[in-house]
Amino acid sequence: MKVKIISYSLVLISFLSNAQVINQAIEFEGLNRTHMLFLPTNMEDNLPLVLNLHGYTSNSFEQLFYSSMANVAEENNFVVVFPDGTTDQFGATFWNSEILEENVNDLGYLEALIDTMIENYNINPDRVYMCGMSNGGFMSYYSACEMTDKIAAIASVTGTMNNDIFDNCNPTRSIPILEIHGTADATVPYNGASNAGSFQSMIATEAVLDFWVNHNNCTLEFEEEMEDISLTDLSTVTHFKYSGGDNGSSVEHYRINNGGHTWPGAALALPGVVTNYDIIASEVIWDFFKQYTIDGLLEVEELPDLKSLDIMPNPMLAFTNIKSSTEMESLCIYDLQGKRVLNDFVGGFEYTLDRGMLNSGLYIVEVKTGGQSVYQKLLVR
């Protein structure tokens, strides 16, 4: 469906160089639907798009700054759109994920918004992703059920599925799923809620994960306690990964032990509610999304190379030197299942890997340089 942008205004964010945040609106089914659009400094054709949906009573402006995803988009060169929901019967902004008795067609609106972004900004239609906070997480799950031809992967932070969507969800393909949820969430309880007042029942986090694990045909790869980096945030993180699904799909879960109804790593900690700072949700979400297109897991040979990045010797012997013609900001190494096995700050033009750091196998080396991520293969014998 072709929808024309009917208004916009330009706002510059000084701390993001020449990156832009644009206030826009499109008309959909007689309503003026607004959104905020982040365009990275190195804007070019065929970039990925992430839709980042606010929570109940919130808005695009709050979600832009609360999630800090624009910073991650600038560093990794993707586009983010922060849409606004409409107002419900209680006067609160919301997404119609069928959790309230409302008639607004948010599925249709989000589909039209995606088409508009693809048409006007030459977005890669195979790399469109959706994430959301709370009610935005509900809407992301709803979209995964109903918009399998549009969405490559989704992530939910403090969200879940309500009973109607859960009972009637029948996606036509496997959908990579990421859920970040606190065990002390009092708004969307980790263990679900059978009756939430005016809202429908909320399905327990583990039941939602089981649904998608079974749908995608995944199996548990690992469960690990992550490093307790922040000793003052009153919480820890347990990471679950279910992999090996259809088309390389996976389901991942970051359980925030004692975490509240918050966005981990948020720029602003909400008073009286535990916010975890061992992970940065927006970075975790992008690390998950970037592995996938709408056709499934990216193959090793599909990852772009940077010709000025030298890895010698390769295959690795006792050690390997990684040299770049531009200063390297950081270096990550992933195994072929997408698990990150090394993450280190570089801040220079050369980095040395010792053979003892890695087991035998084929790895993907990701170097962040000049605000972009570039990749090469590394064989360890």
Q: What local confidence, expressed as pLDDT, does residue 257 receive?
A: 98
Query: Which amino acid would we find at residue 188?
Result: V
pTM of the model: 0.78
Q: What local confidence, expressed as pLDDT, does residue 66 receive?
A: 96
What does the alpha-carbon distance between residue 252 and residue 254 come to, in Å, rounded to a whole number? 7
Determine contact, residues 133/93, Cβ cutoff 8 Å. no
Determine contact, residues 131/53, Cβ cutoff 8 Å. yes
Q: What local confidence, expressed as pLDDT, does residue 195 receive?
A: 66
The two structure tokens encoding residue 172: 């036509």
Q: What local confidence, expressed as pLDDT, does residue 4 receive?
A: 55
Residue 117 burial (CB < 10 Å; 0-12/13-18/19+)?
A: buried
Q: What local confidence, expressed as pLDDT, does residue 347 receive?
A: 86
Torsion, CA 84, CA 88, CA 93, CA 98, rounded to 10:
-70
Q: Where are the domains of the chain?
A: 5-298, 301-380
Q: What number does CATH give the domain 5-298?
A: 3.40.50.1820
Name the nearest CA neighbour of 104 among 116, 112, 94: 94
Determine contact, residues 129/151, Cβ cutoff 8 Å. yes
What does the alpha-carbon distance between residue 223 and residue 226 come to, in Å, rounded to a whole number? 10
What does the alpha-carbon distance between residue 78 and residue 227 come to, in Å, rounded to a whole number? 28
Domain with residues 301-380, CATH architecture = Sandwich (2.60)
Q: What local confidence, expressed as pLDDT, does residue 197 receive?
A: 53
Determine contact, residues 218/244, Cβ cutoff 8 Å. yes
Determine contact, residues 140/107, Cβ cutoff 8 Å. no
Q: What local confidence, expressed as pLDDT, does residue 214 receive?
A: 98
pLDDT in tens, the chain (381 residues): 445 565 444 443 434 446 789 999 999 999 999 999 999 998 999 999 999 999 999 999 999 999 999 999 998 999 999 999 999 988 999 999 876 667 899 999 999 999 999 999 999 999 999 999 999 999 999 999 999 999 999 999 999 999 989 999 999 999 999 999 999 999 999 999 986 555 668 999 999 999 999 999 999 999 999 999 999 999 999 999 999 999 999 999 999 999 999 999 998 899 999 999 999 999 999 999 999 999 999 864 454 444 467 888 888 888 898 988 788 888 888 876 667 788 888 888 899 998 888 988 888 888 887 666 777 778 887
